[in-house]
Amino acid sequence: MSKVLNIAVLAGDGIGPEIVKQALDVTKAVCKKFGHTLNYEEGITGASAIDAVGEPYPKATHELCMRSDAVLFGAIGDPKYDNNPSAKVRPEQGLLKMRKELGLYANIRPVSTFPSLIHKSPLRADLVEGADFMCIRELTGGMYFGRPQGRSEDGNTAYDTCVYTREEVERIMHLAYKYAGQRRKKVTMVDKANVLASSRLWRQVTQEIAPQYPDIETEYMFVDNAAMRIIQWPKSFDVLVTENLFGDILTDEASVITGSLGMLPSASIGIHTSVFEPIHGSYPQAAGKNIANPLATILSAALMFEYAFNMMEEGALIREAVAASMDAKVVTEDIAGDGKAYSTSEVGEWVVNFIKGK
Ligand code: IPM
Ligand code: MG
């Protein structure tokens, strides 16, 4: 059945525009193949929006997101802010504002391996081969949003607050169980309940909810131990669910299993429009050089078809094309190793042509 897809495209900063262009071209090719109509509109965000209008998530961009069926997102961040702790407006505030205002409480980051990349992982091949798990990171609570946050008057003390409510924990745990039910039926809830009060709420709420899912195994793990286990025994995870900051850190770690940070896509879902973005940042050193890996963004487009439009065949075709590009060794420098490094646009075009030829 052909459909109309209305998407917002927010390229953002750094390599954002280059990688999003490739994902958008892939999206266009898939829509053409399946007879869907694609309407897309671009919006500004991040440092580029600060430069243009003085704020990183302008109202017009929010309105665009709200009236779209899905948001394809690049990256946010600019080094001129990273080493300036006293900057009044920061590009990252735009990303956080978007997450909060769109109610994107769950960030889904699937971690799986590609056969042709196994040997690119710094981890032993037998450890990572077949690893396939889903990280669900809570995205609108915890230390990122807890108040108070700030500095004492004399500037010598600083504080952040980690806040969670029962409702926030409940909704994400139910989501974790739902996905585990469709997978290998295991949930690992990662916390620091031996130290943090907020973690003890997570654990208590999870213990209350778990009996509603008798066919799903619930495992509880402290975050320090989880950091070790992700490297040591990644195959032991199925659905890993955790709070915002732990999830931020653990998913960068988990990307090592895939072989490159440039390979991990994500879907942020919640109350309003869902957002699809690579987990890597704006990689400013590579901006404008046409060398960044577009595959995480292209795979985010696959998640967009699946999660936002329930178009499984379309998503599967993108995955197939991405796997084929790696088998053909048409890859960017981060995964090329001793082989030839292709440019961002060459990889994107290869994927598009594969889809057209199918
Ligand atoms: C991510 C990023 C962001 C985060 C930054 C850019 C604010 O690291 O999406 O993982 O910390 O959430
Ligand atoms: Mg991060």
Say what the pLDDT of residue 117 is.
85
Q: Assess whether 141 and 74 both reside in one domain.
A: no
46 alpha carbon to ligand 2 midpoint, in Å? Answer: 15
Among protein residues, the one with the nearest Cα to ligand 1's atom 12 is: 248
Q: Assess whether 58 and 138 both reside in one domain.
A: no
Three-state secondary structure along 15-33? Answer: CHHHHHHHHHHHHHHHHHH
Ligand 1 atom nearest to CA at 96: 7
Query: What's the gap between Cα 121 and its chain centre?
Result: 20
Among protein residues, the one with the nearest Cα to ligand 1's atom 4 is: 248
Q: Assess whether 187 and 112 both reside in one domain.
A: yes
| CB of 138 sitting under 6 A from ligand 1 | no
248 alpha carbon to ligand 1 midpoint, in Å? Answer: 6
Nearest to 145 by CA among 280, 245, 277: 245
Position 261 confidence tier, pLDDT thresholds 50, 70, 90: confident
Q: What percent of the chain has pLDDT over 90?
A: 91
Spatial separation of the C-alpha atoms in residues 43 and 28, rounded to whole Å: 18
315 alpha carbon to ligand 2 midpoint, in Å? Answer: 24
Q: Assess whether 297 and 311 both reside in one domain.
A: yes
Residue-wise pLDDT tens digits, 3-49: 999 999 999 999 999 999 999 999 999 999 999 999 999 999 999 99
Q: Answer whether 0.85 is exceeded by the pTM.
A: yes
Spatial separation of the C-alpha atoms in residues 246 and 234, rounded to whole Å: 17
| CB of 92 sitting under 6 A from ligand 1 | yes
What CATH number has the domain bearing residue 43? 3.40.718.10
| CB of 139 sitting under 6 A from ligand 1 | no
Among protein residues, the one with the nearest Cα to ligand 1's atom 6 is: 92
Question: How many structural domains does the chain have?
Answer: 2
| Pocket residue to mutate for ligand 1, from 92, 99, 139, most atoms within 8 A of Cβ | 92
What length does the chain have? 358
Determine the average pLDDT of the residues in 192-198: 98
Q: Assess whether 214 and 310 both reside in one domain.
A: no
Q: Which residues are catalytic?
A: 144, 192, 224, 248, 252
Residue-wise pLDDT tens digits, 263-274: 999 999 999 999
Q: Assess whether 170 and 28 both reside in one domain.
A: no
Say what the pLDDT of residue 343 is.
98
38 alpha carbon to ligand 1 midpoint, in Å? Answer: 28
The whole domain housing 124 covers 107-269
pLDDT surpassing 90 at residue 114 = no
Q: What percent of the chain has pLDDT over 70?
A: 100
| CB of 76 sitting under 6 A from ligand 1 | yes
Partners of residue 188 on adjacent β-strands: 219, 240
Say what the pLDDT of residue 162 is.
98
Residue-wise pLDDT tens digits, 61-74: 999 999 999 999 99
pLDDT surpassing 80 at residue 1 = no
Q: Assess whether 300 and 231 both reside in one domain.
A: no
Ligand 1 atom nearest to CA at 245: 11
Q: Assess whether 85 and 157 both reside in one domain.
A: no
**For residues 253 and 231, is the Cβ–Cβ distance under 8 A?**
yes
Among protein residues, the one with the nearest Cα to ligand 1's atom 5 is: 92
Q: Assess whether 216 and 311 both reside in one domain.
A: no
**Residue that terminates a domain, selected from 269, 284, 304:** 269
Residues 6+ apart with CB under 8 A from 302: 265, 314, 315, 316, 318, 319, 322
pLDDT surpassing 80 at residue 317 = yes
| CB of 56 sitting under 6 A from ligand 1 | no
Say what the pLDDT of residue 119 is.
80
250 alpha carbon to ligand 1 midpoint, in Å? Answer: 12
**Residue that terminates a domain, selected from 269, 287, 321:** 269
| Average pLDDT along the chain | 96
Q: Assess whether 196 and 285 both reside in one domain.
A: no
pLDDT surpassing 90 at residue 245 = yes
Q: Assess whether 28 and 139 both reside in one domain.
A: no
269: three-class secondary structure by DSSP: strand
Q: Assess whether 206 and 344 both reside in one domain.
A: no
